[in-house]
Amino acid sequence: MCPRPSLKYDPSRPLSLAGRLAIGLIWLYRHSLSLVMGRGCRYAPTCSDYTEHAIRRFGFWAGGWIGLARILRCNPWGASGFDPVPEQLPENARWYLPWRYGRWTGRHIEEKYRLD
């Protein structure tokens, strides 16, 4: 049985090629499509910034799922407010159950930081 990777952020871990590519795509989005769509994000930090930080902190696979959950939450019926990248991965997250990485609702945002 393989040992479970650490749930904590390791700043010494280098970014994978997939992670660098994803961050490059985020950079392209910020400097092209985002300018056309406007900058009316419901959350702080913005979804693109949040996803970039999640990928840098947890790697492409886990960080990408965390970012996807945030992007899907960013809709007129979703929550809003201050929502930083989590400090560590959820205890029940596994690479083969990737949906467990994300926070799919806004219930985790404290009431004092909510804008809705």
DSSP structure string for 32-101: THHHHH----SEES-HHHHHHHHHHHH-HHHHHHHHHHHHHH-STTS--EE-PPPSB--TT-BTTBGGGT
d(CA 104, CA 32): 27
The residues, ordered by sequence, that sit 6+ positions from 66 with a Cβ below 8 Å of its Cβ are: 51, 54, 58, 85, 86, 101, 102, 103
Residues listed for the chain = 116
Residue 13 has pLDDT above 80, yes or no: no
Which pLDDT does position 8 carry in this prediction? 58
Q: What is the DSSP letter of 7?
A: S
| 4-8, 41-45, 48-52, 108-112: the lowest-pLDDT one | 4-8
pLDDT (tens digit, 9 = 90+) per residue, 49-104?
999 999 999 999 999 999 999 999 988 888 889 999 999 999 999 999 999 999 99
For tokens 């201050």, name the residue. 82
